[in-house]
Amino acid sequence: MKHIAKPLAAALVIFCVCFFALPRAAGSYAYVSLIFKINENELERAAAALRAGGAPSLDGLCGVRGPSVISADGTVDFACASFGIAPAGWYAGIYNSPDGAPKGFRGVEMKLRRSGGGWEYAEPGGDNRYITRRIIGNWYYYRMSF
């Protein structure tokens, strides 16, 4: 029994790190803003191409995944990380706001209120929560939790 305890404890630690710590880091402002800095020029080009009706390839972008979303107002969203499924999941990414104002999640109208270094939305009577922070210029970080 003693020879099983150490490997079992190690496996439990690895599981906890993978399940709890890594997803938190991947959806953080620090992580997503680093992805933006690495890909800034390519993201600018991709946003302009999407607004012009093109379909730019995101294959060369480090840390950017999934299809981009363009809202009716021209806001372009790039997904960077996600974890879980509703009702215990979240999405994190970057968006470019054409007018420089903070936006709701993927074009959804939300009453954002100032909070700390950014803006937030909490669903009345629910558990959905959205936060957004300016990275630079018209570029923002977002995290939507369900």
43-81, pLDDT tens digit by residue? 999 999 988 988 888 888 889 976 678 888 999 999 998
What is residue 1's DSSP assignment?
-
Q: What are 98-133's pLDDT values in tens digits? A: 999 999 998 889 999 999 899 999 999 888 999 999
What is residue 6's DSSP assignment?
H
The whole-model pTM stands at 0.80
What is residue 116's DSSP assignment?
T
Q: Which residues contact 30 (CB under 8 A, 6 or more apart)?
A: none
Task: Domain ranges for the chain, please list them.
Answer: 2-145
Question: Residue 146's pLDDT is what?
Answer: 86
